[in-house]
Structure formats: structure tokens, C-alpha cells
């Protein structure tokens, strides 16, 4: 392996490290991230128990991913606003509120997707009707 290839491989590995550090930061500092984590694991567990087909898994994974992406972007935007605005500014509040709304919209959409995907087979499993 050439030195250039080793350097490229090292840089790719470092980028994954930085991404996981960011995920860890979100989990350590954002209370709602723990709620997302618990619900994500619960949905995945329920889907496994219900033996969902691949297409349902694809939709659930997209919904879960959308919520996590919104949470990550919200946290990043909050950090940027906090870094750039040492005093209260109404536009800083708007930026933070809109980013939080993105997480809320993603979470509400994910709940609806979860109900549509998991509801019927769960009902069937529990009540046999």
C-alpha cells in the first residue's frame, strides 16, 4: 500500500472517529437525544418481535434517521449560535426555535410512520383480530 493510500485510509478512519465523537457529544449533552435513543431501540425491538418485512424496515429506518439527523443539526446550530451571540439576540432565538421545531416535526412524522407500520401487526399479535 502506498503512502498516499495509507494517508487516505487514515483520514477516512479519522472522519468516522469525529462523527462518533459528535454523536457522543449529542448523547452526553442533549436530554432529548436519550429519549430518541430509547424510542429508537424500542421501535427496533418491536419491529424484530413483529418480524416486519424489509419494506417496513426501510420506512422505519428512514423515519428514525430523520429524527436523529434533525437532532444532530439542531445541536450543531445551537452550538454555532451560542458561539457567535454572546448576548441575547432575537434572531438567535429564532434560529434555535426553528431548529428545535425541525426536531419536533421529524419526531411527529416518525410517530405517525411508527403507528402506521407497527400498529396493524401489533394489534394482530396482541388481539388476533
Any idea what the CATH number is for the domain that residue 101 is in? 1.10.287.3610
Predicted pLDDT of residue 112: 98
Q: Indicate which residues carry an active-site annotation.
A: 71
In tens, the pLDDT along 32-86 reads 999 999 999 999 999 999 999 999 999 999 999 999 999 999 999 999 999 998 8
Q: What percent of the chain has pLDDT over 70?
A: 99
Closest CA to 111 of 55, 42, 50: 42
| Phi/psi at 3 (5° precision) | -60, -40
Is 60 within 8 Å of 117 (Cβ atoms)? yes
**Cβ burial, residue 86 (10 Å; 0-12/13-18/19+):** exposed
* Least confident range of 37-41, 86-90, 116-120: 86-90
> What SS3 class is residue 106?
helix
The total domain count for the chain is 1
Q: State the Rg of the chain over Cα.
A: 19
**Cβ burial, residue 129 (10 Å; 0-12/13-18/19+):** exposed
Dig out the grid coordinates for 19 from the structure. 462523527
Q: Which residue has the cell 436519550?
A: 34
For CA atoms 39, 41, 45, 47, the dihedral sign is positive
The domain in which residue 111 lies consists of 3-127
Residue 9 pLDDT > 90: no
Amino acid at each position: 500500500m502506498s503512502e498516499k493510500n495509507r494517508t487516505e485510509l487514515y483520514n477516512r478512519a479519522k472522519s468516522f472517529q469525529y462523527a462518533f465523537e459528535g454523536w457522543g457529544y449529542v448523547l452526553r449533552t442533549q436530554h432529548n437525544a436519550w429519549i430518541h435513543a430509547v424510542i429508537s431501540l424500542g421501535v427496533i425491538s418491536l419491529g424484530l418481535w413483529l418480524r416486519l418485512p424489509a419494506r417496513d424496515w426501510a420506512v422505519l429506518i428512514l423515519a428514525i434517521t430523520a429524527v436523529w439527523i434533525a437532532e444532530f443539526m439542531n445541536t450543531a446550530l445551537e452550538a454555532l449560535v451560542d458561539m457567535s451571540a454572546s448576548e441575547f439576540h432575537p434572531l438567535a432565538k429564532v434560529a434555535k426555535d426553528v431548529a428545535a421545531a425541525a426536531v419536533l416535526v421529524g419526531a411527529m412524522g416518525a410517530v405517525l410512520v411508527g403507528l402506521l407500520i407497527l400498529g396493524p401487526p401489533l394489534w394482530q399479535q396482541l388481539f388476533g383480530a
